[in-house]
Structure 1
Amino acid sequence: MEIHNAGMGYPLLDPYGNTAASGVDRNGETAAIRPKAADDGASGGDTISVSRDALLLTEARRAAQNTPDVRADRVEELRAQVANGTYTVDARVLAENLVREEPSLFRIV
């Protein structure tokens, strides 16, 4: 779901955007979001509480999105091993990974 600021006069919390721009305090759990007033004499505003776990989850998601899908250095290393005949596969490790990652392959229907 995506929520846009529909002219409400105050910024919305953007859990996947720039935390500084969204009003989230990286060092604490509470961020204040105050409506923009015509005069600067606004004495208060709404506050929200964001848990540290939610903040860590947001940072983890951002890091994952910025990580490349293909590790080019590893691909080149494996390509060189295949080309010179030194690439070997440990059948036990391969089988363990298949069982862990694709359990549906081993179900009897």
Structure 2
Amino acid sequence: MEIKNTTNSFFDPYSAGLEKSAEARSDTRLKARAEGTGTEAPQGDTVSVSQDALLLTEARRAAQSAPDVRSDKVEALRIQVANGTYKPDSQLIAANLVREEPGLFQI
């Protein structure tokens, strides 16, 4: 299965705002230079994004740029399955699921 790098505003609600904000700042600066006013005061609405939102956006971009498939690991597992030596530890898998997703088990 291959996962394509797609931008989905559902997973990254801040990316569209960041891009629009950067474009607006750039347009304002260009207009100020063209008019010769020398001031770069924004006109109209402005967007402010928290540091947490910027960090989440950067983390998403880093995750998207990571390779989709770790071919060395896939090949090693493929060989184990073909040889009949692949024996997953169901208790370890369950423990890791509980550790990774604690919110699933809260009422």
Calculate the TM-score normalised by the size of structure 1: 0.50
Q: 1:80: how far off?
A: 1.5
Which consecutive aligned stretches of 4+ in structure 1 deviate over 6 angstroms post-superposition?
Answer: 98-101
What residue ranges of structure 1 are gaps of 5+ in the alignment?
2-11, 16-21, 24-31, 104-109
Question: Matches of 1:87 and 1:39 in 2, distance apart?
Answer: 70
**Structure with greater contact order relative to length (CA < 8 Å, sep ≥ 6):** 2
Instruction: Name the residue aligned to 2:39.
Output: 43
Where in structure 2 are there 5+ consecutive unaligned residues? 1-8, 10-16
Per-residue CA deviations over 1:17-43 (Å, capped at 9, x if unaligned) read: xxxxx37xxxxxxxx926132323231
1:55 matched to which residue of 2? Answer: 54
Structure with the higher strand share, 1 or 2: 1
Relative to its length, the structure with more helix (as a share) is 2
CA distance in 1, matches of 2:74, 2:95: 22
Question: Which residue does the alignment assign to 2:6?
Answer: none
Letter aligned with residue 42 of structure 1: G
Judged with a 3 Å threshold, the aligned counterparts in structure 2 of structure 1 residues 13 and 97 are, in CA distance, closer, same or farther, namely closer
Q: What residue is the counterpart of 1:14 in the other structure?
A: 19
Within 5 A, what are the aligned runs for 1:1-109?
Answer: 13-14=18-19, 22=22, 33=25, 35=28, 36-37=30-31, 38-46=34-42, 48-96=47-95
CA-atom RMSD, angstroms?
3.4
- Per-residue deviation at 1:92? 1.3
Report deviation, 1:62: 0.5
Distance change (3 Å), C-alpha of 1:33 and 1:85: same
Whichever residue aligns with residue 40 of structure 1, its letter is G
Shift of 1:97: 5.5
TM-score, L = length of structure 2: 0.51
